[in-house]
Amino acid sequence: MTRKTLIALAAAAICMGAPVPASAQAEPPPGLDRLHAYCQARGHLNSVATDPKSVWSWRCVGHRGELHRIDMHDACKWHTNGRYSKAAYHDANNAFSWYCY
């Protein structure tokens, strides 16, 4: 099926309340699910959300336990190989709601 056909079928299914096949759904923006690897690439041990109820609580953990601020825009660039360079969040009260665009 062509992309136009899939989009048309998805639109019809939405209007009729039917489930939309996964292949016709838009791909969501990537999340920041590799912050440990990002921090390690910068010479740190891993990452931690010091408060799971705050998007601003993410830090890289250094080798002596020190905490380093994470630039989420830079993390998005690294995470997506430059494809997305901006970071945003869905909910300021949820440290795990970051995504890249």
- pLDDT tens profile 45-59: 999 999 999 999 999
| 23 φ/ψ angles, rounded to the nearest 5 degrees | -70, -20
Distance, CA of 88 to CA of 96 (rounded, Å): 11
Distance, CA of 96 to CA of 60 (rounded, Å): 15
pLDDT in tens, 49-99: 999 999 999 999 999 999 999 999 999 999 999 998 899 999 999 999 999
CB burial of residue 98 (10 Å; 0-12, 13-18, 19+): buried
